[in-house]
Amino acid sequence: MDKIILNQMMFYGYHGLFPEETRLGQRFYVDAELMLDLKTSSRSDDMYDSIDYGEVYNVIKTVVEGKPKNLVETVAQTIADELFQAFDLLEACQVTVTKPNPPIAGHYRSVAVEIFRERDE
């Protein structure tokens, strides 16, 4: 399956279970792999036969910088849902939401949730 991949998009959001997360906010990184058939667009050289990367970024930004969610899992699912709603050509997507500084004790680089969803027909 062909893919459009957007890596390490950075946003500032207010998601989390703890009061300091919803009050102070924090950085979130999002990776998105969009699965679709790119044969037509690669031959036509026409954006209308593909998915506009800038619009993908804006959809994801609206979710991550929008209404706070308790769980990163919910943020990832909402991103997938919004991508399917926005782009008819999208057949499947993999979304990774990374929280580099969650308020948990220990030594680690980050925590992340990764989901894979296919369009329900």
Residue type, 15: H
At 92-113, the pLDDT tens digits run 999 999 999 888 889 888 999 9
4-42 tens-digit pLDDT: 999 999 999 999 999 889 999 999 999 999 999 999 999
- Tell me the catalytic residues: 99
DSSP helix/strand/coil, 22 = helix
The angle at the Cα of 95, spanning 94 to 100, to the nearest 5 degrees, equals 145
Q: What is the CA radius of gyration of the chain?
A: 15
Percentage of residues of the chain with pLDDT beyond 70: 99
**Consecutive H or E run containing 30:** strand 26-35
Which domains are seen in the chain, by residue range?
A: 3-118 (3.30.1130.10)
| 94/117 Cα distance (integer angstroms) | 6
How does pLDDT run across 53-69, given as a tens digit for each residue?
999 999 999 999 999 99
pTM over 0.85: yes
